[in-house]
Chain A
């Protein structure tokens, strides 16, 4: 039985037909699966493989390479905080400790009410001019202060999951502060 909806399958077929070679549609297809399920389930990846005429292991091998695909379900909203140099120079670790306290779970975790999955990343988000910065459901939030973080989280907490994120990261580097201690 299919786990993907007709809409998701149609999107994957549309992607497949856009490229000179169908395999190029793997990444966009995985995005379509994650948008529907919130993460990449084995069944979802098998359906992608069928639609693109690949083997499930070929699709899984691609999926596991990229840090933005999730391998398990997570909260309704996803918060990604940058701790690379430009953000660290302007207080990223303060934002990280604030989130940890506020959300009550370590990086990579999901809040008890299922509203948020959050993590910090050494991957520079490209928002250094507005450091410290984070992304909430893929949208940039810059010039953060603990108060601004609270206002942003309050603004989305009760909203339904946006089309796109959710899920839990399958790999995350520890925060510099955490790992040093």
Chain B
């Protein structure tokens, strides 16, 4: 089975970033239909029927998230989470680069569903060109009457503000995103209250991912029931998988949920490069546990991957060939979490430093077996004990790799260097 192109079907089309071309292919018809023939409640019901679950990582049902807003409390706000920073993840950037108006239309539909007068697009600072593109598209849409007062002659008014971040992974966590948007250090807030009750400026707020929102024009136009017929029973629709690492054709591929991972790897990614074999892969970005070649027949389906001990997360597939050192990969990921820990809670702030220190000494081959044994202890003191998921997930890959590749970890102790790299360098010379 090939890609199932719903959100990506117009990628690569000449001029798709302009309103004229987007309108010519039926753009903003979803918004028009929603405003003309649906009440906000109808829309929430339709999205519930679609079964769509959030594409940012947690996979929470979108319609249900919307329905948590308390009745009759206004104003409410929509935040579009474009802070994509998960290691291995680059789909939201593609959705913005390749079809920015689809996202803007989706955001306006969501804003109408929850009756938000302002939608904020929080985009990571590194996506500088993408922010400028969105700003240009917002102005275009405003001039055409899709944004502003009385949109398309309805009594719904909504403004869109594009807000650039400045380098902080944690701002992808919804309460940290809100803190950052309010002009503070982006640190997560205690939940409850959840953003739906008390979010931006203390008002009811919905935070939705770029890919989730980009689905909405299609759900409105073709119906929630149609959407639910695509994909798997509890993972409806498609997802964009960001494929990277040791594969022949890295890139973003949109797949119907339920498709075996093997098809994604073999048909779209064209297999592992250099004629080598797969050693391990990460199915959901830097935060998720390692999976092995034996897991390739799992379906791209959120619950199935979870049962196998990992998760589809933000849709990033990182493939590693037989020459990869799992200690080196773990070390890089641990470094990432250490760098990105916001410092609010001790288990994460201190734990990621301990982890990083230990992994660097292990990769350098100067750790003792007794010291390696403390890795489990460090991670036990973090997982489930941190203020937000960042600290928990800082342990997931490394612990799963330690479990699956214990001999490789132990072999590093006292080896005076990386034994895996040494082995493959020797093989290359021979």
Contacts and interface: CB of A to CB of B under 8 A. Distances in A.
A39 to B, nearest CB: 13
Contacts of B182: 21, 23-24
Contacts of A164: 128
A168 B86 CA distance: 25
Interface size classification for chain A: 35 or more
B358 to A, nearest CB: 12
A27 B123 CA distance: 12
A66 B339 CA distance: 11
Contact of B336 (A26, A52, A123): A123
B261 interface: no
A112 B318 CA distance: 38
B244 A31 contact: no
B114 interface: no
Which residue, of B87, B127, B339, has the highest number of chain A Cβ atoms within 10 A? B87
B332 A122 contact: yes
Contacts of A45: none
A129 B244 contact: yes
B163 interface: yes
Given A84-B87, A126-B84, A90 B165 contact: no
A18 interface: yes
What secondary structure prevails in chain B residues at the interface with A?
mixed
Contacts of A156: none
A85 B250 CA distance: 14
B329 interface: yes
Given A27-B163, A27-B180, A128 B185 contact: no
A131 B244 CA distance: 8
B409 interface: no
Nearest to A140: B129
A161 interface: no
Interface in B114-163: 118, 124-129, 161, 163
B300 interface: no
Contacts of B127: 126
Given A85-B87, A126-B124, A176 B246 contact: no
A124 B93 contact: no
A8 interface: no
Given A123-B167, A124-B88, A128-B90, 5 more contacts: A61-B185, A83-B332, A123-B169, A124-B87, A129-B243
Interface of A: 18-21, 23-28, 30-31, 52, 61-62, 65-69, 80, 83-86, 88-90, 121-131, 135, 138-140, 164, 173, 176, 179-181
18 contacts: A24-B183, A28-B164, A30-B166, A65-B342, A66-B166, A68-B167, A69-B167, A84-B332, A85-B318, A89-B244, A122-B332, A123-B169, A125-B126, A129-B242, A129-B250, A131-B244, A138-B129, A139-B128
A-B pairs, top 10 by smallest CB distance, nearest first, are: A68-B167, A128-B244, A66-B166, A67-B167, A23-B183, A138-B128, A26-B183, A86-B244, A65-B185, A124-B87
